[in-house]
Structure 1
Amino acid sequence: MTDTKTRGSISLKGSATLVQEFFNFGINSILYQRGIYPADSFRREKKYGLTLLVSTNPKLEEFLNPLLKQVESFLARKALKKLVVVIQEVKTKEVIERWEFKIETEDVNEEGENSTRQKDEKKIRQEMADVIRQITASVTFLPLLETACLFDVLIYTKRDATADTPADWTDSGACLIKDAEQVQLRSFSTAIHNVHTAVQYKPDL
Structure 2
Amino acid sequence: MTEAAVKNTNCITLKGSAKLVAEYLNYGINSILYQRGIYPSETFSSAEYFGVTILMSQDEKVKDFLKEVLGQAQEWLLNKKVEKIALTITDVDTKEIMERWDFKVQYENSSSCDNPDKEIGNKDLQVIQREIRDVLRQIAASISYLPLLDCICSFDVLIYTTADCEVPEKWNETEPAFITNSQEVKLRTFSTSLHRVDTLVSYKAST
| Cα drift, residue 76 of structure 1 | 0.5
Q: Secondary structure at the match of 2:48?
A: strand
**1:146 maps onto 2:150 in alignment:** yes
| Cα drift, residue 204 of structure 1 | 1.7
**1:50 maps onto 2:52 in alignment:** yes
| Cα drift, residue 7 of structure 1 | 4.2
Which digits, 9 at most, give the CA deviation of each residue in 1:173-193, with x for residues without a partner?
A: 111112210011100001100
Q: Secondary structure at the match of 1:93?
A: coil
Pair 1:112–1:127, CA change in 2 (3 A): farther
**1:184 maps onto 2:186 in alignment:** yes
Matched residues, number: 197
2:126 equivalent among 104, 122, 128 = 122
Asked if structure 1 preserves the Cα contact closer than 8 Å seen for 2:180 and 2:204, the reply is yes
State how far apart, in whole Å, the 2-side matches of 1:8 and 1:170 are: 39
Asked if structure 1 preserves the Cα contact closer than 8 Å seen for 2:9 and 2:125, the reply is no
State how far apart, in whole Å, the 2-side matches of 1:82 and 1:197 are: 10
The normalised TM-score by structure 1 is 0.92
1:60 is matched with which residue?
62
- Percent of aligned positions that are identical: 45
Map 1:94-113 → 2, pairs under 5 A: 94-106=96-108, 107-108=110-111, 109=113, 110-111=116-117, 113=119
1:38 is matched with which residue?
40
2:140 equivalent among 122, 136, 139 = 136
Asked if structure 2 preserves the Cα contact closer than 8 Å seen for 1:112 and 1:192, the reply is no
2:81 is matched with which residue?
79
Pair 1:62–1:6, CA change in 2 (3 A): closer
| Cα drift, residue 113 of structure 1 | 3.7
Query: 5+ residue gaps in structure 1?
Result: none
Which digits, 9 at most, give the CA deviation of each residue in 1:3-46, with x for residues without a partner?
A: xx964221111100100000000000010000001101011111
| Cα drift, residue 119 of structure 1 | 1.0
1:201 equivalent among 190, 200, 203 = 203
2:4 is matched with which residue?
none
Deviating more after overlay: 25-34 vs 119-128: 119-128
State how far apart, in whole Å, the 2-side matches of 1:78 and 1:30 are: 26
Which digits, 9 at most, give the CA deviation of each residue in 1:77-96, with x for residues without a partner?
A: 01111000000100001001
State how far apart, in whole Å, the 2-side matches of 1:85 and 1:112 are: 32
Query: 5+ residue gaps in structure 2?
Result: 1-6
Superposed CA RMSD? 1.4
State how far apart, in whole Å, the 2-side matches of 1:6 and 1:88 are: 43
- Dislocated runs of 4+, deviation >6 Å: none
Pair 1:122–1:146, CA change in 2 (3 A): same
Q: Secondary structure at the match of 1:9?
A: coil
Map 1:136-175 → 2, pairs under 5 A: 136-161=140-165, 163=166, 165-175=167-177
